[in-house]
Amino acid sequence: MTLKSKFSILALGLWLGFISSAAAQQPREWIAQHVILIGLDGWGAYSLEKADMPHVKQLMTAGAYTLKKRSVLPSSSAINWASMFMGAGPELHGYTKWDSKTPELPSRVVSHYGIFPTVFGLLRDAYPQAEIGYEYEWDGMKYLVEQQALNFSKEIINHEKPDSTISVACNYIREAKPNLFAVIIDEPDHTGHVTGHDTPAYYETLHTLDGCIAQIIQATKEAGIYDETIFILTSDHGGITMQEMETPFIISGKNVQKGLIFDESMMQFDVAPTIAFLFGLQPPQVWIGRPMKQVFTRTF
Ligand SMILES: [Zn+2]
């Protein structure tokens, strides 16, 4: 073997090694480097027409949305947050009560984290270096995500919220520049239960939440990641009767269509596959949700 052919074999080996490690670590380019999901508990889509939420409406104009994302039944909290993160309904993930901490019905599949697979665990498994955060106000949220998959997990107790929730979220964004960060706020559902949905107090709360969302957007600018961020605003369920079943799904930012109101059917369990698609993740076979690919500007 000549020196030249030895060199060629070495080069080929390096090249193949590079290709296979690139394929294993980075199946394809991410649509955006940062995804911030802001969940408002009990935010019915019907409310947007009357709501004074200028920053949310700005995201709607600058991005894509549907006001017809449907909850799964029964349309209450843990069941729907689980479905949103887990890409499947209660028949598969097994969380069937408003406050389920463990599935009443055995999960069809349990991952190595010990629960039905969510998009958080999926991202962690594909990208060990990813920065993943999760913040919530209602303690029931902690059971619905693989806590071991998170770099940052924070529960904000009652007397501190919502200002503390937002300042913690903004600090985390500025310091850690997360790839995936979900902030789940326990309003306007609380106001909805105390004074009623679709009431002046409910709209007052929505206006306050709009200011919270503005602060989170501002934090991404201060972190220098705004141009590489996609914001998702959504909810677990709405108010009463049919108003309870339809929630907004608003997505805005890098590589997202501008001014698109999409009419394709979207279910609660389509949220996780949409986020997974954005990061180029292969969804588990047990997921039944579909990615809303039409909201993006390019096919990836
Ligand atoms: Zn709820």
- Which pLDDT score, from 0 to 100, does residue 243 have? 75
Q: Nearest 10 degrees: CA dihedral of 56, 59, 61, 63? A: -140
Q: What is the pLDDT of residue 163?
A: 87
Residue 5 has φ and ψ, to the nearest 5°, of -70, -35
Whether this prediction's pTM lies above 0.75 is answered by: yes
Distance 66 CA to ligand 1 centre (A): 19
237 alpha carbon – ligand 1 mean position (Å): 6
Residue 75 neighbours by CB distance under 10 Å: 20
Please tell me the predicted confidence (pLDDT) of residue 233: 98
Which two tokens mark 56? 């949310």
Report the separation in Å between the CA atom of 283 and the middle of ligand 1, taken as the mean of its atom positions: 25
Ligand 1: distance of its center to the CA of 189 in Å? 6
246 forms bridges with which residues in the sheet?
Answer: 70
Give the relative orientation of helices 200-223 and 54-62 as an angle to the nearest 10 degrees: 60
Which of 44, 77, 83, 121 is closest to 282 using CA atoms?
Answer: 121
Chain centroid offset of residue 256 CA: 15
For residue 288, the CA-to-ligand 1 centroid distance in Å is 22
Cβ pair 149, 132 in contact under 8 A = yes
Q: Please tell me the distance from the alpha carbon of residue 169 to that of residue 261, in angstroms, as a whole number.
A: 29
Name the 3-class secondary structure at 146. Answer: coil
The CA 51 to ligand 1 mean position distance, Å, reads 19
Q: How far is the CA of 271 from the centre of ligand 1 (A)?
A: 16
Residue 120's identity, in one-letter code, is F
Span from the CA of 244 to the centroid of ligand 1 (angstroms): 10
pLDDT tens for the chain, 300 residues long, are: 444 454 454 454 444 444 444 444 556 899 999 999 999 999 999 999 999 999 999 999 999 999 999 999 999 999 999 999 999 999 999 999 999 999 999 999 999 999 999 999 999 999 999 999 999 999 999 999 999 999 999 999 876 778 899 999 999 999 999 999 999 999 999 899 899 999 999 999 999 999 999 999 999 999 999 999 999 999 999 976 667 899 999 999 999 999 999 999 999 999 999 999 999 999 999 999 999 999 999 776
Q: What pLDDT, on the 0 to 100 scale, is given for residue 22?
A: 44
Q: Cβ distance 214 to 36 under 8 Å?
A: no
Distance of alpha carbon 281 from alpha carbon 244, whole angstroms: 31
